[in-house]
Structure 1
Amino acid sequence: MKSNTLLATLFAASASAAVMKPRQANSFSVSNFTASCIPHSLFCTYEFAVITDPTSASPSGNSSPAKCSLMLQGPDYLPPVNLTGCDGGAYSWAVTLPQAGGLELSITTAKDSHTNYTGIYDIPADQLVAEQHGAVIDQRYTGPPEFAVPIALANS
């Protein structure tokens, strides 16, 4: 009888430990993504919210998405963005302009002191529209506002 109780206790302890382990993030969940140049202005904006998926792998331990936004000088076409932080400091992001056109959004966050979660999302050129407004052209993103950015691990 004692051995059955002992086995049941050990099984319950190992099962509960397995449930409590945090899962590794497999993607960044991006929501409310917008990118546009402001008509008749010299500025362009990028804005979105981001969190790891699953949220249990969030580096800040916060289950709410971090807000990422930046206004920078354009004009006309969406410019590249050097690595910059989101609110709260847990996430960083950048935008590059591939030679083939479109945009490349990269998002990164620390997994631990030696490893980062990093993901890259390609925005095709057909999701960017350039509109003529008198003497100026203004580019804006027309793709989906929500998307997943697959994660790869990178040593820091």
Structure 2
Amino acid sequence: MKFSTAALVVAASAVVSGAAIQKRSVVYQVSDFSAACIPHSTQCLYEFGVFQPGTMQTDPIPCQAMVSANIDGTLPDVMYGACEQSSRTFNVVRDAEGLGFLVQAPVSPRSNTTGVYHIPNSDLVMSDRPNAVVQSYAGPKAFDLDFLV
């Protein structure tokens, strides 16, 4: 089941406000997270591994999306980024406080297991290179995604 763009924006906003999230449990663990726009390019790369604790999974599943940069060089939104050999997808939605990050996997035709994390603006940096002003992620490489209620 795929969420509509509007639903993703609402979910990302909920991550920021904390209104819809209860820290009930960690649903996914992210490792080796990186996000950066490529200097002198029109592309940005999001890349990470995702692991679901409490399952028979033994290794993180690689996920990646190469997407067009925003005109101002900032990291763009991602809708349904792919994870290798998996039904998991990820989304990134920009908001005033940073980036809402969401990983989801279908558990039935009508529901997903969804984990969320908010990347604050303080973890996003702009390069200071002349003619190559681009944004990249400078926060922790590993973090937990909380269950979206």
TM-score (ref. length: structure 2): 0.75
Alignment RMSD = 1.7
Contact kept? 2:61, 2:83, Cα under 8 Å: yes
Shift of 1:53: 1.6
Contact kept? 2:35, 2:47, Cα under 8 Å: yes
What is the alpha-carbon distance in structure 1 between the residues aligned to residue 54 and residue 136 of structure 2? 30
The residue number in structure 2 matching 1:46 is: 46
Matched length? 123
Aligned to 1:133, what secondary structure does the other structure show? coil
Aligned to 1:55, what secondary structure does the other structure show? coil
Aligned ranges 1:3-152 → 2 under 5 Å: 26-56=26-56, 62-75=57-70, 76-98=73-95, 100-152=96-148
Contact kept? 2:82, 2:89, Cα under 8 Å: yes
More helix by share: 1
Deviations, residues 106-149 of structure 1 (Å, cap 9, x unaligned): 10012344431111110000000011221231111010000000
Aligned to 2:63, what secondary structure does the other structure show? strand
Contact kept? 2:65, 2:82, Cα under 8 Å: no
Shift of 1:103: 0.7
In the alignment, structure 2 segments of 5+ residues that lack a partner are 1-24
Structure with greater Cα Rg: 1
